Structure 1
């Protein structure tokens, strides 16, 4: 066990706590070396420049690696296809925004957790803090987006078949989709 530096993290100085059994190490490092963000903690596991970096702004990044989430069927039960996926996706609103109390002042892109919760509460986390801060599990939206694309593709295929039939002079009765039914009743209720 060794402490490499007792620096205070200012002026580029870094404080480190290192465990190094023959260069296969765990290192905790604080300082201002990561883009000027103070209170940065780097966790190095193994030799080389691979790292997991966590900073005081709440940003987490990894170098030279990938992020995995377990998805093995052996760990799941009650599996069923997501229903009305396209309708749910159409109920979401993508937004641009800036954080209020963060060092990172760059323009952001994402969703508003409270809005998402009204449509797909399964992908919203409510914190245990006093304010009950909400967050979106963005990774859980992937399945929804895939099913929405599949529903949309089925509608496109159906429309292409109708167009081809009409071009060949065949009259094909139109099958109303759930989205069209819901839009129809929405127009009726709005008086359109």
Structure 2
């Protein structure tokens, strides 16, 4: 596991590099990842708008901020993501804001499709669901991991799928509405809860 993590960190990029990469690919009519399609490009474009908005409007929860500022040991937060992922677009700006709130957090991002070995270690019910946050200590040992979405958002999708049999466009719209109303608070509180365990 340690060699997989070290390899991923060597290939990782910063948040600003991730944003630049996604924007550059969109300008070329592409998305991140091995698969390319009009849908994935469309989702990437939507997500860029979402991330721009979130970067301007997100506010740090004061309780979460205090816990982050009291973090004693250095941590690396390694996030597995892709530009077309709607959950990643909602969650990455929150993770960035949290990481910036503590001098002890170093945020790194890797693309899922370029890191199969890493993704295989952090599946969600057997699926390669993203985003996935892996919290590492100073020795790059896994403290904990979180993702792909907050509990309430996860339940919203599970309930919808149980009722309708699929996750379609109305489900995705309902999920984005939930994120909008939650303002990142659930994500912040869940993440801060796992970094101290």
Q: TM-score, normalised by structure 1?
A: 0.20
Higher relative contact order (CA 8 A, sep 6+): 2
* Bigger share in strand: 1
Q: TM-score, normalised by structure 2?
A: 0.20
